[in-house]
Amino acid sequence: LGPTITFGEILVEIMATLPGHGFTEALDLRGPFPSGAPAIFISQCARLGGQAGIVGCVGDDDFGRLNTDRLRADGADVSAVAISPDLPTGTAFVRYRPDGGRDFVFNIAKSAAGQIAMTPEARALVARAGHLHVMGSAFAIPHLWAVLAKAIPAVKSRGGSVSLDPNLRKELMTPETSARLAQVVAQCDLLLPSGPELQLAAGLPDATEAEAVAALLQKVPEIVLKRGDQGATLFTREGRLDQAAFAVTEIDPTGAGDCFGAAYLTARRLGLAEPLRLAAAAGARNVTVLGPMEGAGTLQDLNQFIAARI
Ligand code: ATP
């Protein structure tokens, strides 16, 4: 089958224990927790029993070791996680607002993640991969796009598949990011948008959901639209399947989409039953636990989670 791989930032997240606004006062903090959307995704793939690996770069520091140790313990291949000699692992400080919004202080642009490159180890992982998951945030990061632009055709030309989580905001779109998005959509086998990313991926910003889905299905055979606490919908050329969200108390929303996508993809690749339901369970379970990927479950965890709710 070949592992599922992805490229991107490996960070730690440190969060305020109480809701409020910003970081302009001394706060009680929790963390560091391993984080970074690509790392969350790979953790969930590996915990579900899928072969999974990540191309990334961390600092020669405890934050980097925290992440790589965690991913390794999950069963992920971290052979292509380079260690930067001079830049630290990135950090994200998060504070939840009383209305559920989030305030962030990021230190990523000048972190080790900026040194991700097609190293010999990365090339070897790409050569083994059966599936490449692309995070759209990479479209706005030139060095990351440069390695992805090589990896996509390498995986595809050997019969591997590609998925895309557009992970893009309308305000951040430029002609360049739009062109890269269209290029990957045209080559992708599975699209995992949430909200208005559906229209962005279709290149039809003002289209209705139905119009955007119809246009995208001409290019992509399988689309799963994530709807937060409203659940998710699978669209194929044969029809649609709606999945309700599992009712949970949300503790920490970060990582739901990555756990959902990883569980859906891994279930599809391993031939597990009811991929959409398993994915909804993965997304819902992850929001019940503090820490971006602390709620990523094993197959047993997710089956128990589902059994307790039906
Ligand atoms: P992210 O914030 O990680 O970028 P996203 O926008 O990509 O998330 P969401 O739609 O928020 O993705 O979440 C993915 C899936 O996880 C949803 O489709 C849903 O099935 C599940 N989920 C997310 N939040 C909740 C919640 N509060 N309650 C129940 N299920 C949830």
Taking only the tens place, the pLDDT of each residue in 11-24 is 999 999 999 999 99
pLDDT tens track for 120-173? 999 999 999 999 999 999 999 999 999 999 999 999 999 999 999 999 888 878
Looking at this predicted complex, what is its ipTM?
A: 0.98
Exposure b/e, 183-194, CB count within 10 A at least 16 = b? ebbebbbbbbbb
In which band, very low, low, confident or very high, does the pLDDT at 310 lie, cut at 50, 70 and 90? confident
**Residue range 171-189: mean pLDDT, rounded:** 94
Token pair of 309 as six digits: 């709710």
Mutate to test the pocket of ligand 1, among 135, 164, 226 (most ligand atoms within 8 A of CB): 226
Q: Are 197 and 166 in contact (CB under 8 A)?
A: yes
Q: How confident is the model over 280-303, as a mean pLDDT?
A: 98
pTM to 2 decimals?
A: 0.97
CA angle 32, 171, 211 (to 5 degrees): 110
| Catalytic site residue from 77, 165, 252, 258 | 258
| pLDDT tens for each residue of 260-285 | 999 999 999 999 999 999 999 999 99
Per-residue pLDDT tens for 191-200? 999 999 999 9
> Is residue 86 annotated as a catalytic residue, yes or no?
no
168 C-beta closer than 6 A to ligand 1: no
Report the chain's terminal Cα–Cα distance, integer Å. Answer: 32
pLDDT in tens, 206-259: 999 999 999 999 999 999 999 999 999 999 999 999 999 999 999 999 999 999
Q: Which residues contact 171 (CB under 8 A, 6 or more apart)?
A: none
How many CB atoms are closer than 10 A to CB 17?
A: 12
